Amino acid sequence: MTGGSQGRFLGVVVDGSLAHGVEVRLDAGTSVEEVKAGAFVTIQGSGHRFFGVVTDIALGSTDPRLKHAPPGMDDPFITQVLQGTVAYGTVSVLPNLVMPVALGDAVETPVAAKTIPPHFARTHAASERDVAAVFGNEDERHFWIGNPLDMEAKVCLDLDELVKRSIGVFGKSGTGKTFLTRLLLVGILQGGQASSLIFDMHSEYGWGAHDSDGKRFAKGLKQLFPSRLSTFTLDEESSRRRGSSTDDVVRIGYGDIEPEDVEMLRETLNMSEVAASAAFNLQQKFGQRHWMSQFLNMEGRDAIFDLAAQIQVQPHALGALYNRLTRLKRFEFLAEKSERNAADRIIEHLERGQHVVLEFGRYGRNLTAYMLVTNLLSRRIHGRYVERKEQAEGGQGRDPRPLVIVIEEAHKFLSPAIAPQTIFGTIAREMRKYNVTLMVIDQRPSGIDSEVMSQLGTRLTCLLDNERDIEAVLSGTPGGRQLRGVLARLESKQQALIFGHALPMPVVIHTREYGSPESYAQLVKRAPGRQPHQGTETPEERLEREIAELF
Ligand SMILES: Nc1ncnc2c1ncn2[C@@H]1O[C@H](COP(=O)(O)OP(=O)(O)OP(=O)(O)O)[C@@H](O)[C@H]1O
Ligand SMILES: [Mg+2]
């Protein structure tokens, strides 16, 4: 037997199919109570060793009379004799993978199973070592994200695969999405596969925040990696109050707002299509840099109605647009004139290899503000990436460093109605053609356009209890039916079902601890053998400094 140690013997295969998995009859010595749904098993076929997961557990008997006339149970001896012989337990197993045969020192990875083990193949509980062989060892490409339930082995994500396509983090409120996202971002930051740009709605990624019950403070990424993260803020006061060290304050000029940005706000500003599209007519009349300031500087109904006639827009629609855009004036981050372009400055930091967090402060509670800024900046930044990429393809300059854009409340940006037109729909659909991908965080995945969902390469989902949300998250996933029950039975915190490109098969994890001093110390430690990211500090020096700054 390869790999040496294996878990306890469970029983033998007695039935099955590739589509539905195999049935294992439990050995007389194994009680059904000892096997849990979601547990990993290995099955020794004649040529292959399979690795799979328990999807169901059942009771069977060889004698149909047993059900109708159970024997007298007063005598423990009779019970004992019947159990495991006439009456027995079965478990359903989905054999997902074929384990590599250890050939000398060659490192091989498990491959997807395209067949099933034969009758009477012996089934064992998977050992820690089997699980480690499947879910990887922590190294510079593999990030430890959590552990399978009841096991010590680590589940590691393949970071290269993770950032190649967009990522989804789901779960109902308070289940651990933010914590899981912090971990993913640490992984990407440490792995160096991409830069990240985080639109930090609740100001919890840059400088950290108290947890939902207000008891504990969880550090943000700026506190863990001060030299590699730049923080921008929309709300200087809030950032200062929270002691967050910000690198720059974002101001957006009226001239930066395009009619497309206004269109995205139709729903949150409760505006008709006609009213929103009048912005295009205004742009045509006054020019991009001036349309908004000229328009908002107008006074009186008559002036607006006159203008409506000139630009051939329904007067009431233009009136409605005026009224809605006037509401934006109370956002202090908007200025009639802004000398420095926020998108340019963010791009400068990203190009230096920095990760960027934009803290929204009090504006995070205002969906209009969040969507306006997030759309506007992402469109500009994506535009720049497209330019860079095309130049690189034409032989000028280098490919832009891959970028992951992180957004919360993703369904607001990616609902079926608006996904086809928004920048986020575009980014999701073009995959990583221009080196930009998304990380979407959401508690209502059923509100996201199904085409966008199908583009997510890796999905991580905490507990969901709404049927439609569960269906949306699992749609298009092989074995989705079997995973439904697993997803609905997760614990309400710090557990997640994860599946997709970044790992060999779906797995339920207890999410890695984030928030204790030990967890921080482990997270800032770099994987062995990695080169210094930039600057003149050696990795050891930086590690020492960063840990010193932590405590
Ligand atoms: N990996 C973890 N390590 C430590 N604590 C965790 C972890 N995951 C979740 N928790 C606990 O669960 C609580 C809720 O997690 P989190 O704030 O991430 O939920 P959420 O899904 O983002 O909620 P919301 O939808 O309200 O934003 C945290 O305050 C923390 O106490
Ligand atoms: Mg959250």
pLDDT tens digits, one per residue of 20-29? 899 999 998 8
Pocket test for ligand 1, best of 365, 493, 509, 523 (most atoms within 8 A of CB): 493
Position 333 scores a pLDDT of: 92
Residue 177 CA to ligand 2 centre (angstroms): 5
* Overall size of the chain counted in residues: 551
Is the CB of 178 within 6 Å of ligand 1?
yes
Residue 488 CA to chain centroid, in angstroms?
18
Strand pairing class (166-170; 456-461): parallel
Position 1 scores a pLDDT of: 38
Q: Do 462 and 175 touch, CB atoms closer than 8 A? A: yes
Residues pairing with 355 in the sheet? 229
Position 527 scores a pLDDT of: 53
* SS3 track for 70-94: CCCCCCHHHHHHHECCCEEEEEEEE
Q: Do 90 and 58 touch, CB atoms closer than 8 A? A: yes
Interhelix angle 315-327/273-286, rounded to 10 degrees, is 90
Number of CB atoms found within 10 A of residue 65's CB = 10
Residues pairing with 403 in the sheet? 195, 436
Position 91 scores a pLDDT of: 93
The count of C-alpha atoms lying within 13 angstroms of the C-alpha of 264, restricted to the half-sphere facing its C-beta, is 28
Closest ligand (CA of 170): 1
Residue 176 CA to ligand 1 centre (angstroms): 3
- The H-assigned helical ranges of 84-176 are 128-135, 159-164
Least confident of 28-37, 223-232, 356-365: 28-37
Residue 542 CA to ligand 2 centre (angstroms): 30
Position 3 scores a pLDDT of: 41
- Tell me: pLDDT of 253 over 50: yes
- Tell me: pLDDT of 392 over 80: yes
**In Å, how far are 126, 157, 499 from 129, measured between CA atoms?**
8, 17, 21
Rg over alpha carbons for the chain, rounded to the nearest Å, is: 28
More confident residue, 297 or 485: 297
Q: Do 460 and 473 touch, CB atoms closer than 8 A? A: no
- Tell me: pLDDT of 30 over 60: yes
**Nearest-CA neighbor of 505 among 52, 145, 38?**
52
pTM metric for this prediction: 0.88
Position 102 scores a pLDDT of: 59
Q: Which amino acid is located at 244 in the chain?
A: S
Atom of ligand 1 nearest to the CA of 211: 29
Nearest CA to ligand 1 atom 30: 211
pLDDT in tens, 307-339: 999 999 999 999 999 999 999 999 999 988 877
Residue 176 CA to ligand 2 centre (angstroms): 7
Work out the end-to-end distance of the chain between its first and last CA atoms, rounded to an integer number of angstroms: 48
Nearest CA to ligand 1 atom 15: 176
Two tokens at 194?
């991409």
Residue 178 CA to ligand 2 centre (angstroms): 4
How far is residue 124's CA from residue 122's CA, in Å, rounded to a whole number? 7
